[in-house]
Structure 1
């Protein structure tokens, strides 16, 4: 299949920047999967993949990774043109050190340093903390009769858990955390705009300043810190990670540690309220919360896609992907592939098996998947139990500006 033949104009446009598309991308995914499953975009020189098997092949094949360009860190004797350009350059360099943008062996080395806080046994120790926070929240709003699930519950809860993992107490939170989170959700997006890219780079600069100060404060502590930042500081002292990698990893873990979890909570509540029979099933049998979260991860994934770069020329389903070309793996489309899932457009909280791809596969699978699931299971399970008369309080929804990270800006409900 030639690029030209594969790039016939589709009647349903794949436009990640369109609010109309983000409101309901699934008809476009269905069309592309059926007619153009390996879709070449000549204007971007990249590919859009929508079939389950193709995407699994990309995840598992070491010939697909990230750009192999190494960051060029500025040395002390180099003089920047001006302060703004210096910050911008440093932000670009720090972003290149993010775990998700690394290939082995650097990826393997840094991921190994992050593993301990995210083991299933360590995650389970947070259960009572998460449950207490959710119940305290409901106690505080129960008499009001209304709440915004995203702004009042999902985001603060997910941010708090992430900061607890990192080792940042609430009194040390920066007032711009929310704004920074929003900006970072777009900088690594598909078809990012120049303005969003610059906002993201400025955000990285702000977080770099924040984390430099916080790391310095942690280093001054006499006792070792039993948290992620503390373990990374220890790894730096042992020569396992550089100072720049430490800073870049802190920024990365802040960026990815809570937004997708908040979106998973919001997407679950919205989907259940749009499928009242499924909500009744869950309320009648709370043990279904695990398969409910799995089904939302499949049906309304908070991560719509993951991009990879061909590290060499490679054949994928009889199509040649050339070295350096980006493939956008639309996992939300793969999660509804009828070749893999029976009645894929049906929301069924009792679905088993459910091999969704929302946490990725291979070496880049989501390191925080157990934590994200636990937070969502506790939050959603508690809300539907304690607020059984929950209903949506709006007729229109505004989805986040990010395409790859799918979530609502707000979800007002009444009860």
Structure 2
């Protein structure tokens, strides 16, 4: 058990309660207070730490001492007794598959698997998707143009990012499962900070559903006589060459599906909302579309779709005069680091011309997001087309509802008129 100094142990007047609706509606006053008064904040109820300062978070993300520790999960292949019913068997398999995700690996396993997944996100692969992305965005806007209204999330961001993710994996639209959306939401909430028992079980069920789906699709992909240019085929080939196991293949298909579209979907929504809330910046972008790259960079800093990245301490370490013990979890609050005044001038000002802009939204170090360039390209194209084709864009309501997740930051819907 860690003991902080007397000043550090005083509970802040703005309690860090990630499940509070008030906090989720506007997190930044709490972040500011914690960063100023309790930048390395120990939560006795969870025996974990909340970090809000840019320098500390950057150190954690780059330091290999902060990695991922796995709780032991019994494999069903080791001769242990079979589970007492099918539900428990699915639950155990879901836990085992989560353990095999790339984002939960340390070297050397991480070093072995990451290049295999990264192969689908090279610059050449990404640039080859540019015209497809542009055509898809235009088609989605064409469907609603005559209506004079749309939901940025459900009419554009979700189908765009899901379709692109499935294209990368090699899943054609006619093979999409009707539960994709619900599985994605349930899985996201099960990975949240201070997750509820119900959300945890729903997440395990979502993994079980995705596992059944991908087992079938992988089996079907194995029958193709010619290698296909998609990630699943690449991973099947890697498995055949002994570079990863069948379970690692399945687990990381689920990971890429779950992580590959939700954060970009949220980033598109956050971009449009932030621009609408800053009309002078929106008009600046509309007058000069070449500002789109710095615009999305500023959204990533100002209203990131990722607000927290967890790490586990693999051995005792001192961080800014605080001792963090082996096995303790450290929550790197990216949303707070991105508004640290020690690193960003006027951090609460949204400025689409901001340079330099070293935001931490995609992480740092060996675990940085492999889809960073694709996420930025998709968002840049989508936002530029939206603001150019719909110049009279405005919010259809002031009552917007954020997703229930703390670690992710996104809207459930974003209705607009034009």
TM-score by length of 2: 0.98
- Number of corresponding residues: 415
Which whole-Å deviations, capped at 9, do the CAs of 1:4-38 have from their partners, x for residues lacking one? Answer: 53221111111111121111000000000000000
2:319 maps to which of 304, 316, 319: 316
Q: What secondary structure sits across from 2:75 in the alignment? A: coil
The one of 99, 117, 120 aligned to 2:120: 117
- Counterparts of 2:73 and 2:266 in 1: how far apart (Å)? 31
Mapping 1:150-165, distance limit 5 Å = 150-165=153-168
Aligned partners of 2:257, 2:99: CA distance in 1, in Å?
Answer: 15
CA distance, structure 1, for counterparts of residue 258 and residue 5 of structure 2: 38
CA contact (8 A) 1:2 1:319 kept: no
Gaps of 5+ in 1: none
| Partner of residue 85 from structure 2, selected from 78, 82, 98 | 82
Distance across 2 between alignment mates of 1:352 and 1:76:
55
Offset at residue 89 of structure 1 (A) = 0.7
1:346-394 Cα shifts (integer Å, max 9, x gaps): 0000000000000000000000011100110000000000000000001
For structure 2, the residue ranges without an aligned partner over 5 or more in a row are none
Contact 2:70–2:99 (Cα < 8 Å) also in 1: no
From 175, 181, 186, the equivalent of 1:172 is 175
Residue in structure 2 matched with residue 134 of structure 1 by the alignment? 137
Q: How does 1:134-213 map to 2 (within 5 A)?
A: 134-213=137-216
Q: Provide the residue aligned with 2:46 in structure 1.
A: 44
Distance 2:373 2:188 in 1: 21
- 2:344 match: 341
Q: Is the 8 A contact 1:307 1:327 kept in 2?
A: yes
CA distances 1:294-314 after superposition (whole Å, capped 9, x unpaired): 000000000001000000000
Counterpart of 2:37 (choices 31, 35, 38) is: 35
Is the partner of 1:147 in helix, strand or coil?
A: strand
Give how far 1:112 is off: 1.3
- Runs of 4+ that moved beyond 6 A: none
| Alpha-carbon distance between aligned partners in 1 of 2:70 and 2:187, rounded to the nearest angstrom | 22
Cα shift at 1:117 = 1.1
Match of residue 328, structure 1, among 331, 335, 347: 331
Question: What do you get for the CA RMSD once the two structures are aligned?
Answer: 1.1
Q: Which residue of 2 aligns with 1:54?
A: 56
Which stretch shows the higher mean deviation, 182-191 or 311-320? 182-191
Cα distance between partner residues in 2 of 1:305 and 1:69:
21
Residue of structure 1 in register with 2:254 after alignment: 251
TM-score (norm 1): 0.98
Map 1:216-227 to 2 at 5 A: 216-227=219-230
Question: What SS class does the counterpart of residue 363 from structure 1 fall into?
Answer: helix
